Amino acid sequence: MFCLNNVILLIIAISYRYKGGQLMKVDEKTIIKKFDMLNSSKIPKPKLVLHCFNAFWVGGLICVIGQFIGDVFSEMGVPSDEKGTYVSIVMVLIGAILTGIGIYDKLGDFAGAGSVVPITGFANSIVSPAMEFKKEGFVFGVAAKMFTIAGPVLVYGIGSSVIVGILYYFIRW
């Protein structure tokens, strides 16, 4: 009787699917529901542990290089309160050069925040749009677009330092 059961099931299935020669209407709401379900389960997740690890050691390495340059300046007799400025200048230069010769974007793809957060990443965010928009000229291209990415950092960085400065003025400890 197994066979007959199957045949009946098949007939039921076909008559369920077809209605007057056309496929049965499925409400779009069920599609949206399924879509949301797929969207929350089927999107591949980034490899978080690997990315964190790479960000950690690359970011750390950049800091070690910075420290090394700082130590060299100390050896050269640069006073310790000026040393930080010197190191920043050199690191920005390194970031800019690596951007210019097309290495920093590959480093960024590998290290993520590890190369974005240090000051070399800040240099990258200014040099890369400057290079990109050179074709629109030096005024409306390079100069105008140079800070499209770094601009917000500057605005809120400087802005918050002013606020902190005012607070510090009134609440000295």
43 binding another protein? (CB under 8 A): yes
Tell me: does residue 108 bind another protein (CB under 8 A).
Answer: yes
Site membership for another protein, residue 90 (CB under 8 A):
no
**Interaction between residue 139 and another protein (CB under 8 A):** no
For position 59 contacting another protein by CB under 8 A, the verdict is no
Residue 22 forms beta bridges with which residues? 19
Q: Which long-range contacts (C-beta less than 8 Å, at least 24 apart) are formed by 54-61?
A: 54/110, 54/111, 54/112, 54/114, 55/111, 55/112, 55/113, 55/114, 55/115, 56/114, 57/114, 58/107, 58/110, 58/111, 58/114, 58/115, 59/111, 59/113, 59/114, 59/115, 59/117, 59/118, 60/114
Least gap, CB of 61 to another protein (angstroms): 15
What is the spatial distance between Cα 84 and Cα 135, in angstroms, rounded to a whole number? 35
**With binding defined as CB under 8 A, does residue 125 bind another protein?**
yes
* Nearer to another protein among residue 70 and residue 128 (C-beta): 128
Q: Note whether 62 binds another protein by CB under 8 A.
A: no
Selected from 63, 86, 90, 132, the binder of another protein by CB under 8 A is 132
- In whole angstroms, the minimum distance from the beta carbon of 154 to another protein comes to 16
Q: Please give the residues from 4 up to 23 whose contact with another protein meets the rule CB under 8 A.
A: 17, 21-23
